[in-house]
Structure 1
Amino acid sequence: MKNILIVEDDLNIAELERDFLKLNGYSADIETDGSAALKAALTGRYDVLIVDLMLPGTGGYDIIKAVREKYEIPILVVSARSEDIDKIRGFEFGADDYLTKPFSPAELAARVKSHIERYDRLQGGGSANVIIRKWLEIDTASHKVLVSGREVSLTSTEYDLLVFLASNPNIVFTKERLFEAVWGDSYSGDLATVPVHIQKIRHKIEKNPGSPELIETLWGTGYRFNG
């Protein structure tokens, strides 16, 4: 059974999330204080983190950053902050998803399921295949990504997006198409996550992220991986 940590200072919302996740076959714990939540999240006991941003003690952004530095588990934000800048900042700190309150518990459970399946698929490995593009090497069996021979760490979503692009070189993809390919066509979410994840990937694989050679932006059109 997958273990989920819910970090939410509104106990009514937290209990609603917990109860609905349990109905869907997950185990869930609640922390209402940010500092206590951070300690719990860093124990390695949890498979998914669901975190609010406005918390007593340690804030949500700091929790996301600290957890992401140590683990690649799915991190979902559930927050009343609905501005694009808040969403972009959440993705930049390492969140995989962002839901705005009020939200549907059924949608939350569906997104948790989607992220768990993607993460498990990546952890489980696959058929041996190595993608080599210039100085980038992706071993899809071990899920290792090497840049000029040096291994770099990517989240599961970053990895999925990179593999999709690198597997389809010299093809232009719109944000909508990338979102559909990586997050799923039945998945409701914010397209703003696509350029944020692209930027994060660039910082990890490009020689000069400010002038990318591998993942090119075609303004007004989309993105192309130069193979």
Structure 2
Amino acid sequence: MTEAHSSNILIVEDEPKLAAVLEDYLHLDGFTTTIIADGQAVMPFIRATPPSLMLLDLMLPGRNGMDICRELRQFSALPVIILTARIDEIDRLLGLEIGADDYVCKPFSPREVVARVKAILRRAAPAVASRTGAQQVPHGLDVDEQFHHALLDGKELKLTPLELRLLVLLMRSPGRIFPRYYLLNNLYEDHRVVTDRTVDSHIKNLRRKLQTVRPESEPIVSVYGVGYRLEI
């Protein structure tokens, strides 16, 4: 028996058979879907009808997935999973640095893609009960995990789900050094194997967004050979 979802998943993929397979598996899990095959049509659709998550192929007619993701991150924290046949590490890292939340390499299992979708949507809107009200709140930070909302000094940060998860992890004890292995083990709910560079990329993006509000600050300090600490 499948779970009931109200989430609409945007599938941006120009291979009709692959898009249809993804759609079928998502429907079996209760998701609604929209398929777009032309890169030029993606941004107008998102602005008019924002989906809950986007599965984004990199190689598209009209406009490539990297450019789409870069523009998206200028105004939205919409969760994005990149679908790619380009498997070298630089492309993977670049995908994360431009704000993607995850990537899946082709060929892939449709069941794995659905599992990734569900995991990211859970992170994007965790239950209120999972919050720990007793923790110290860093000065000027206001984070609402339920509605995926983060403010610094009253200004919206527009974080991706993974960036918000990292921020929440660091907020558990401001000033404490969190080892990379701790962040690696807690960043993904499915505990997949990821590299230090993956965490470093998300930290870099999170630090940059915090510094847009406090340009002269060093909100996340790197401790060489150990990890990171939040200094807000």
TM-score (norm 2): 0.82
Per-residue deviation, 1:218: 2.4
- 2:194 is equivalent to residue 190 of structure 1: yes
- 2:221 is equivalent to residue 216 of structure 1: yes
Q: Tell which deviates more after alignment, 159-168 or 200-209.
A: 200-209
Q: Say which SS state the counterpart of residue 133 (structure 1) adopts.
A: coil
Q: Say which SS state the counterpart of residue 67 (structure 2) adopts.
A: helix
Q: Per the alignment, do residues 59 and 222 of structure 1 end up closer, same or farther by CA in structure 2, a change over 3 Å counting? A: same
Task: Assess if the C-alpha contact under 8 Å between 1:53 and 1:60 holds in 2.
Answer: yes
Number of equivalent positions: 223
1:110-166, CA deviations, whole angstroms, 9 ceiling, x for partnerless residues?
1100111111227999676785435x4234477654434544222222111111112
Q: Per the alignment, do residues 76 and 152 of structure 1 end up closer, same or farther by CA in structure 2, a change over 3 Å counting? A: same
Per-residue deviation, 1:28: 1.6
Q: Say which SS state the counterpart of residue 121 (structure 1) adopts.
A: coil
**How far apart are the structure 1 equivalents of 2:42 and 2:25?**
20
Per-residue deviation, 1:78: 0.8
Identity %: 34
**Aligned-partner residue type, residue 138 of structure 1:** D
**How far apart are the structure 2 equivalents of 1:35 and 1:146?**
32
Q: Say which SS state the counterpart of residue 73 (structure 2) adopts.
A: helix
Q: Per the alignment, do residues 225 and 66 of structure 1 end up closer, same or farther by CA in structure 2, a change over 3 Å counting? A: same
Q: Say which SS state the counterpart of residue 48 (structure 2) adopts.
A: coil
Per-residue deviation, 1:81: 1.1
1:48-92, CA deviations, whole angstroms, 9 ceiling, x for partnerless residues?
100011111011012112233333221100101112221222122
- 2:20 is equivalent to residue 20 of structure 1: no
Q: Say which SS state the counterpart of residue 58 (structure 2) adopts.
A: coil
Per-residue deviation, 1:182: 2.7
Map 1:130-149 → 2, pairs under 5 A: 131-133=136-138, 136-140=140-144, 144-149=149-154
Q: Say which SS state the counterpart of residue 125 (structure 2) adopts.
A: helix
Per-residue deviation, 1:22: 1.3
TM-score (norm 1): 0.84
Task: Assess if the C-alpha contact under 8 Å between 1:130 and 1:137 holds in 2.
Answer: no
Map 1:89-168 → 2, pairs under 5 A: 89-121=94-126, 131-133=136-138, 136-140=140-144, 144-168=149-173
- Runs of 5+ unmatched residues, structure 1: none
Task: Assess if the C-alpha contact under 8 Å between 1:111 and 1:187 holds in 2.
Answer: no
Q: Tell which deviates more after alignment, 120-129 or 150-159.
A: 120-129
Task: Assess if the C-alpha contact under 8 Å between 2:221 and 2:229 holds in 1.
Answer: yes
Q: 1:200 maps to what in 2?
A: 205
Task: Assess if the C-alpha contact under 8 Å between 2:148 and 2:161 holds in 1.
Answer: no
**How far apart are the structure 2 equivalents of 1:167 and 1:123?**
16
Q: Say which SS state the counterpart of residue 76 (structure 1) adopts.
A: strand
Q: Per the alignment, do residues 8 and 172 of structure 1 end up closer, same or farther by CA in structure 2, a change over 3 Å counting? A: same
Q: Per the alignment, do residues 139 and 54 of structure 1 end up closer, same or farther by CA in structure 2, a change over 3 Å counting? A: closer
Q: 2:62 maps to what in 1?
A: 57
**How far apart are the structure 1 equivalents of 2:123 and 2:107?**
26
Task: Assess if the C-alpha contact under 8 Å between 2:135 and 2:173 holds in 1.
Answer: no
**How far apart are the structure 1 equivalents of 2:131 and 2:174?**
21
